[in-house]
Structure 1
């Protein structure tokens, strides 16, 4: 059982492979013998089977990138993302609208046994309080319709973009889990704890270091990109063949601590101070 995860020779796609969790995921998959095809806004220096520049804010760019890969795809890893320091509509396009559009382009390339894993966030924890609104948004048809919905709800719902985008990765994953399993395809997502990536300084500036640190409890440290890659690779592996529609905390016990009253959310719930 040397290939218990089933990646040896499997064709996979990793978005966001330039740095952070995406780069760590691509490296781990290469080590496991996968044929890794990368998509990102910046070039990757990893020894990938192919790499294509893709802007998730542009549906034509997404379609061209996926078409360049072609063939049969066994697994998709949606790792690209933007923090809340970018314009809200850019955040929404990259973190959800573009992610959804790219996934929709890849799904026809998948046979039964295929799998999709996306990175969400504990920043989307509020999803359960407004499921009808999330469902309305995630079931919009096409890239342009999703953009129009966001523009109409920019001030009252989308706001800074980050939290709402991650809420909808969570809700869409659960919604699509019940749809795709009928085709033998699984879809899941992870909720990472704060992770030491190049974006961490941006998160500190936008939310405040004390807020980010509160989300690192009870472990008391930030996770590494490699630790987050492990959760993603496990979800898309053959070993997880019946794991579907799952929102998996990869957080050192944060969600468990919240559920049992051992993590104080009051610091996290404070709004970031306005930037000077």
Structure 2
């Protein structure tokens, strides 16, 4: 994959980062904010469908998602795809490449996205100079592991309809917390192919399962994605207690 050029100019300064206005994210102290502002090299804007990171490649950058959606996935040699998680504002991506030398998964933009860009080589400075921020990086990685645990439970033990209910409830919960869903209409910009690739179902089986939730009036499928009609019903059907997330860090 050819490198996507990084924009050196900044539309968003760290001091006025829109994520800092969200109650979900913890505040930086003055020294941390100054370091992160120096750590940041610019911003990257990508179109919907663009590949941000590719499995097997090396990339000199880390990214924090500032605006938009994306998803992480792995491919089998024959092209079959498994979506392993979705990325949203506040998520740190590219850390795997920093610690393991090359990416073990790919990331694609689900919508137009803006990402803050950090030099991978400066990561050690963060660990040396700001142990609190280093702890935050560890927390972010641990949170990712926790989400993967829940997703694996879903794929391995929930029925198809429970899997779909969980996925939709999970995405709505995360997206609402970071401002991706505003207003009274809950819409997710995902296709049934995205659902199939996340849940490990065939497209035909996915379509039949979607129809069951439509018949229960829990969601409506439109050309632009999924409209959620009954989030409480989906959460109950999935036997999911919700995210239980408190104030969280970001870089």
TM range (shorter): 0.3 to 0.5
Q: Point out the structure with the larger strand share.
A: 2
TM (norm. structure 1) is 0.31
Q: 1 or 2, which has the higher helix percentage?
A: 1
